[in-house]
Amino acid sequence: HIAPNPANDMIQVLSSQRGIIEIADILGRINLSTPIFIPQSQIDISSLSAGVYVYHFKTENEQTLNGKLVIVK
């Protein structure tokens, strides 16, 4: 789960599993990739421009969770 959505400068990733989250633009270019080690991780997204992004959370158990992230400035 990612919150808040829409987001501005920070997002929280809430997960019971470790993994890697990737945030990509609508063309599929990965703009951010970061490991998630704890159940509640804060990620700085202030470097990303306003727009619609897709996130992929790949868990250590080989599961992939996908969703849409809206960034507003």
Give the per-residue pLDDT at 12: 95
Name the maximum alpha-carbon separation found in the chain. Answer: 35
8 A C-beta contact, residue 10 and residue 32: no
- How far is it, in rounded angstroms, from Cα 59 to Cα 56? 10
Give the per-residue pLDDT at 38: 86
8 A C-beta contact, residue 19 and residue 33: no
The neighbour count for residue 56, using CB atoms within 10 Å, is 16
Extract the tokens encoding 25. Answer: 């633009």
Give the per-residue pLDDT at 32: 97
Give the per-residue pLDDT at 39: 86
Give the per-residue pLDDT at 44: 97
- How far is it, in rounded angstroms, from Cα 28 to Cα 39? 26
Per-residue pLDDT of the chain (73 residues; tens, 9 = 90+): 899 999 999 999 998 899 999 999 999 999 999 999 988 899 999 999 999 999 999 999 989 999 999 999 9
